C-alpha cells in the first residue's frame, strides 16, 4: 500500500541519516539518472526544507552549480515573506562549468523562483594568476565575497570525480593524479576518495570546505544510482548539520554497502 511505501521510505531516510551521522535525509521515489520527475520533486523538497530551516530576517544562501542544482532551481517555489528576505549568491568562483549550470545562473534562477534577490560573482575562467589577483581587488568583487562569507545557508550537489573532471576539462596531469589518488567524489570543487578525504582542490575564491563546516544550514542534493558511490564518499565527512536530499535508487545502493 501507499502507506507502507511511505513508512518504508521513512525507514530508509532514518538509516541513511544515522549511517552518515547527519541531521536529516529525505528520499524521493525513483531514479534521477533517467527520471526527470525526481528532479522536479527535488525543487519542491528543497523549497520546503529551506522554508523550515531559514529563520526570519535576512538570509544569505550560497549555492553551487551543476545540472542537479540547475534543474532543482527551476522547480522551486516562493520562500519570501514580510519577515523573511533571502539573498542568493554563488558559493565559489567559476570552476569550469557551462554557463547555464554555473553557480551564478543557479543563484539567479533560485532568486527569481523564490521571490528573493541575487548577486553575481564575475570572475572569468582561465585567467592568469596576475589578472586573477588584481581582479580580486575590485570593490564589486570584494563586496560579493563579503556576502558569501556572511552566508547562513549553503546548497550544493555532489558529483562523480572523474566525470566532473572531464566535464570541466581538467588537464591530463590532473586526471592522472585524481586516478592515482582514487578520487570518487567531487563537491565545491574539492575531490574526495572513498573515505571522504580530500585528495585535490581546484583553487578558487569564495566558500572553502572548512567554511561550510561553520554554516548553520547545509543542504546537499544528489540522486541517481550512478552517484551512490560519490554520495557515500562525500557524506562520510560531511558537516553534521547537513540535510541530504536524494532519491530511492541512490539510497538503496548506498545502504547495500552497509
Helices (H), 21-126: 36-53, 67-74, 103-114
Which grid cell is 185?
567524489
- 135 versus 162: smaller Cβ distance to ligand G3H: 162
| String of contacts with ligand G3H for each residue 145-184, x by CB under 6 A | ------------xxx----x--------------------
What minimum distance in Å lies between the beta carbon of 229 and ligand G3H? 13
What minimum distance in Å lies between the beta carbon of 72 and ligand G3H? 9
How far apart, in whole angstroms, are the C-alpha atoms of residue 196 and residue 43?
A: 27
- Nearest C-alpha neighbor of 238 from the set 188, 201, 202: 188
Which grid cell is 135?
581582479
* CA dist 241 → 66, 123, 146, 156, 211 (Å): 22, 30, 23, 14, 13
- 159 versus 206: smaller Cβ distance to ligand G3H: 159
- Nearest C-alpha neighbor of 42 from the set 28, 23, 53: 28
φ, ψ for residue 253 (rounded to 5)?
-65, -40
How far apart, in whole angstroms, are the C-alpha atoms of residue 48 and residue 50?
A: 6
Residues that bind ligand G3H (rule: CB under 6 A) add up to a total of 11
Out of 105, 151, 187, 217, which residue is the one contacting ligand G3H (CB under 6 A)?
187
What minimum distance in Å lies between the beta carbon of 169 and ligand G3H? 14
- 96 versus 115: smaller Cβ distance to ligand G3H: 96
| String of contacts with ligand G3H for each residue 49-88, x by CB under 6 A | ---------------xxxxx--------------------
Q: Detail the DSSP E strand segments found in the chain.
A: 24-28, 57-63, 84-90, 117-118, 153-156, 159-160, 185-187, 190-192, 198-201, 217-221, 242-247
What minimum distance in Å lies between the beta carbon of 135 and ligand G3H? 23
- 65 versus 93: smaller Cβ distance to ligand G3H: 65
102 is a contact residue toward ligand G3H (CB under 6 A): no
What minimum distance in Å lies between the beta carbon of 83 and ligand G3H? 32
What minimum distance in Å lies between the beta carbon of 73 and ligand G3H? 11
Residues forming contacts to ligand G3H in the complex (CB under 6 A) are 64-68, 157-159, 164, 186-187
Amino acid at each position: 500500500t501507499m502507506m507502507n511505501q511511505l513508512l518504508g521510505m521513512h525507514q530508509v531516510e532514518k538509516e541513511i541519516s544515522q549511517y552518515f551521522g547527519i541531521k536529516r535525509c529525505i528520499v524521493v521515489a525513483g531514479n534521477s539518472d533517467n527520471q526527470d520527475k525526481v528532479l522536479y520533486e527535488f525543487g519542491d523538497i528543497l523549497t520546503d526544507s529551506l522554508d523550515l530551516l531559514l529563520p526570519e530576517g535576512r538570509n544569505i544562501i550560497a549555492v553551487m552549480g551543476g545540472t542537479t542544482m540547475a534543474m532543482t532551481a527551476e522547480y522551486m517555489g516562493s520562500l519570501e515573506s514580510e519577515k523573511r528576505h533571502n539573498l542568493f549568491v554563488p558559493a565559489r568562483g567559476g570552476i569550469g562549468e557551462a554557463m547555464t549550470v554555473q553557480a551564478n545562473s543557479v543563484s539567479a534562477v533560485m532568486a527569481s523562483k523564490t521571490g528573493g534577490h541575487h548577486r553575481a560573482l564575475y570572475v572569468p575562467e582561465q585567467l592568469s594568476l596576475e589578472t586573477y589577483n588584481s581582479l580580486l581587488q575590485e570593490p564589486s568583487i570584494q563586496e560579493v565575497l563579503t556576502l558569501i562569507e556572511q552566508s547562513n545557508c549553503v546548497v550544493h550537489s555532489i558529483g562523480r570525480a572523474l566525470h566532473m573532471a572531464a566535464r570541466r576539462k581538467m588537464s591530463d596531469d590532473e586526471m592522472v593524479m585524481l586516478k592515482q589518488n582514487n578520487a570518487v567524489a567531487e563537491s565545491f570543487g574539492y575531490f574526495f576518495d572513498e573515505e571522504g578525504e580530500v585528495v585535490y582542490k581546484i583553487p578558487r575564491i569564495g566558500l572553502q570546505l572548512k567554511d561550510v563546516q561553520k554554516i548553520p544550514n547545509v543542504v546537499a542534493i544528489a540522486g541517481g544510482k550512478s552517484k551512490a558511490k560519490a554520495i557515500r564518499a562525500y557524506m562520510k565527512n560531511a558537516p553534521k548539520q547537513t540535510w541530504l536530499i536524494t532519491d530511492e535508487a541512490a539510497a538503496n545502493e548506498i545502504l547495500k554497502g552497509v
